[in-house]
Structure 1
Amino acid sequence: MNGKIVGAALVSHHPGLMQCEEFRRAMGAGEDSDLIAGYARLRSKIEAARPDVIVVFDSHWFTTGYHLVDAGARYQGTYVSAEMPWYLHGVHYDYRGHPELALAIEAASRARGGHNRAISHPGLERQYATLNLVKHLRLELSDTPVVSVSTCQNCEWPHFLKSGADIGEAIRRSGLRVLLLASGALSHKFTTIDWKPRHPRIFHESNVSSPENVASDKGAIDLMADGRHDRILDRWQDEYRKLPWEASGAHYLQMLGAMGGRNCRARGEPLSAYENARGTGNIHIWFEPE
């Protein structure tokens, strides 16, 4: 059917970005987070790519036993975060899913001995790793369907590559133009509750949990810029898995698996500055398919 991946991005979703601009600027010593401007840059990339559907690899949707693919037809409601409800609350959402693609992913995965399974349940909770992107990228306004894919917590890192490879095969069979969003951070070590910032601009990279994590994150960003995802995989077990990246890097690995895994040479174009969020390393990076 000649479906294709028309774009991909590693995207930060951190909840601080959902606060009002006034509060963000107070945190930024008068400056807003560049991740906000980065969302506008990413919106332009998405508009140019003209996807039929967007797949979000959701690093907050933790499942056990299967990589789940949400097959709902439409999502409507009001979100309240259990993690930080004092400001991430009252988020109204109303957007379309794409059941056909979700079911096609399950079918391709079963045929290839994989563990992706479609699920459709009207009471299934939304996660902000998906919703924050839906809101910031204005996917409700564009009426672009969104399919969320879970992070299966009882997996080793090669399982995520396999999950992504099965999703890539389903996309090729689908006849659809699909854009991939890996929703999550790089290094994901939080600062303690009594943390004191090193820099008055809270978003500043010097407030990431450690200089070692900053150096490792920037090394990965440089390898992405060169399209050397194979070298990231070579260092995965001994470096990135031990930092660790958010959700053990599932979001990046599934995206990469769909794009060819070790053979992928898509170059990463940073669409934002590299920034801190409560000690974690965050950035938006665009990958143009080969």
Structure 2
Amino acid sequence: MGKIVGAAIVSHHPGLMQCEEFRRAMGAGEDSDLIAGYSRLRAKIEAAKPDVVMILDSHWFTTGYHLVDGGARYTGTYVSDEMPWYLHGVPYDYRGHPELALAVEAVSRERGGYNRAICHPGLERQYATLNLIKHLRLELSDTPVVSVSSCQNCEWQHFLASGDAIGEAIRRSGLRVILLASGALSHKFNGIDWKPNHPRLFHESNVSSIENIQSDKGAIALMADGDHQQVLERWQDEYRQLPWEAFGAHYLQMVGAMGGRECRAKGEPLSAYENARGTGNIHIWFQP
């Protein structure tokens, strides 16, 4: 029987792809702790020995279905249409896992759900996937990677159901899988003319509002206790209203695959909670 051998919420923000000298300039001489956090996460992944890493991509927006990329291999050179002045010329070459993508679709069809596999090697990549592949050195380890989209016309319960189908497909697959929920928590950008509250731009006081900081930290504390039920009970009235990146699809699919309201996996922070243009970012590891 296959199983989820680890999971994490992981920041992918593009500032982390800039050179260390520039990051330290942004950090008033200090680098982002999310960089050191990638090293801590790599150690967790290496210890878990996964057959596949599945990335729940909060930048891959689709309409009508949650898509699961089913190509055997993805190669190319990435240029961001959002920030091409520095996020460009990123080569990628990594294996996919078509069998797992098709298995997710099969389970979803059984259950009347909305997960579909798309087996096209030319499918456009998103930096929410590629930044993680680079920082976690998944190409070097030749670990297959499967990305899952965020369906933008779904409600939060649909994301839980999507994750539930993913979890069942993994159990049937015989594979050891790690889930990476690639995205921020609160995701409101500071205005273009905003003035920093702290000279270290990564500092949490530069997140968009006190209310968002408090809400993010409340969710982090609940996750540390493994109280995903409470996070989900607060979803519609609190976390959905912030909103989290991609309406929280990355977290919801991850926790849905791990049992939804029954999930008790405790969240171990692997980085400081940090700002990125107003958004709240952190790496959190969950051991099933």
Query: Does the TM-score normalized on the shorter chain lie above 0.5?
Result: yes
Deviation at 1:216, TM superposition (A): 0.3
Deviation at 1:121, TM superposition (A): 1.6
Q: Structure 1 residue 91 and structure 2 residue 90: aligned?
A: yes
Name the count of aligned residue pairs. 288
In structure 2, give the amino acid aligned to 1:175.
G
| SS of the residue 2:200 aligns to | coil
Residue 110 of structure 2 is matched in structure 1 by 111
TM-score (norm 2): 1.00
Q: Structure 1 residue 232 and structure 2 residue 231: aligned?
A: yes
**Whole-angstrom CA distance in 2 between matches of 1:112 and 1:64:** 19
Residue 77 of structure 1 is matched in structure 2 by 76
In structure 1, give the amino acid aligned to 2:109.
R
Residue 250 of structure 2 is matched in structure 1 by 251
| SS of the residue 1:42 aligns to | helix
In structure 1, give the amino acid aligned to 2:11.
S
In structure 2, give the amino acid aligned to 1:48.
A
In structure 2, give the amino acid aligned to 1:98.
H
Q: Structure 1 residue 131 and structure 2 residue 134: aligned?
A: no
| SS of the residue 1:140 aligns to | coil
Alignment of 1:154-165 (within 5 A): 154-165=153-164
Alignment identity in percent?
85
**Whole-angstrom CA distance in 1 between matches of 2:271 and 2:156:** 27
Q: Tell me which stretches of 4 or more aligned residues in structure 1 moved more than 2 Å.
A: none
| SS of the residue 1:241 aligns to | helix
Where does structure 1 lack aligned partners over 5 or more consecutive residues?
Answer: none
**Whole-angstrom CA distance in 2 between matches of 1:86 and 1:109:** 40
- 1:89-109 residue CA offsets vs partner (Å, 9 max, x unmatched): 010111000001000110111
Where does structure 2 lack aligned partners over 5 or more consecutive residues?
Answer: none
Deviation at 1:5, TM superposition (A): 0.4
Instruction: Output the aligned Cα RMSD.
Output: 0.4
Residue 208 of structure 2 is matched in structure 1 by 209
Deviation at 1:122, TM superposition (A): 2.8
Residue 281 of structure 1 is matched in structure 2 by 280
| SS of the residue 1:238 aligns to | coil
Quick check: 2:68–2:147 contact (8 Å CA) kept in 1? yes
Residue 65 of structure 2 is matched in structure 1 by 66
In structure 2, give the amino acid aligned to 1:127.
Q
- 1:24-47 residue CA offsets vs partner (Å, 9 max, x unmatched): 000000000000000000000000
| SS of the residue 2:249 aligns to | helix
Residue 10 of structure 2 is matched in structure 1 by 11
Residue 149 of structure 2 is matched in structure 1 by 150
Deviation at 1:113, TM superposition (A): 1.2
Residue 194 of structure 1 is matched in structure 2 by 193
Deviation at 1:123, TM superposition (A): 2.4
In structure 2, give the amino acid aligned to 1:134.
I
| SS of the residue 2:112 aligns to | coil
In structure 2, give the amino acid aligned to 1:232.
V
Quick check: 2:63–2:153 contact (8 Å CA) kept in 1? yes
